[in-house]
Amino acid sequence: MRDDTTMIHVRPFEPADAGALAPRLRAADLREIDAATGERALDAIERCTRSSDPCLSVVDGQVIAVFGVVPDGPERGIVWMVGSDEIASRAIPFARIMRPWVGRLQERYRILWNFADARNEVHLRWIRWCGFTIHRTLEAHGVGRVPFCEFSRVRPGT
């Protein structure tokens, strides 16, 4: 019997990963990028990956997600992730691999935070499941002027 987590793994981001993932992004990720920044998906991914420390890719034969943290002060970081539809077909092993990464990211950053499109309940459930708190909804956020939820997670014990 195959262990479903053996194929999925996290590795350091490689520049080619952005081009491999961008045309396969989930519709919800495309909508969120457009509403927040108005950028093309590839441009947004490349900008985030250049600014992130760390920046990582989730691979299952091909890149299925990219995530990272953009430093925002000495103890704060803006956490982000975009992914492909392949995540849904591997939801449980993906979750098993990814949830511990929040703790790993918080070894470096006491506070992780960002905004998420309020129209995307799947993203908001994922954010809560990973231990983040949703604080408020901004009714007209980003270039699209649509509702976005502010969320954060403080390193446990601090």
Instruction: Please say if the pLDDT value at position 2 is more than 90.
Output: no
Residue 139, domain member (yes or no): yes
Residue 41, domain member (yes or no): yes
**Across 44-62, average pLDDT:** 96
Residue 21, domain member (yes or no): yes
Strand partners, 77: 71, 112
Cα gap 41→51, rounded to integer Å: 16
CB contact at 8 A, 124 and 94: no
- Percentage of the chain surpassing pLDDT 90? 85
Q: Which domain holds residue 105?
A: 9-154
Residues ≥6 apart with Cβ < 8 Å to 77: 69, 70, 71, 105, 108, 109, 111, 112, 113
What pLDDT was estimated at residue 6? Answer: 55
* CATH number where 69 lies: 3.40.630.30
Note the Cα 157 to chain centre separation in Å. Answer: 24
Token reading at 60? 């299952």
The 10s digit of each residue's pLDDT in 104-132 is 999 999 999 999 999 998 889 999 999 99
Residue 126, domain member (yes or no): yes
**Across 6-10, average pLDDT:** 85
Confidence band, pLDDT 50/70/90 cuts, at residue 157:
confident
Residue 80, domain member (yes or no): yes
The 10s digit of each residue's pLDDT in 27-41 is 999 999 999 999 999
Residue 2, domain member (yes or no): no
pTM metric for this prediction:
0.91
Query: Domain tally for the chain?
Result: 1
Of 87, 52, 84, 83, residue with least CA distance to 69: 52
Residue 33, domain member (yes or no): yes
Cα gap 28→32, rounded to integer Å: 6
Residue 1, domain member (yes or no): no
What's the mean per-residue pLDDT of the chain? 93
Burial string for 57-82 (b: 16+ CB within 10 Å, else e) reads: bbbbeebbbbbbbbebeeebbbbbbb
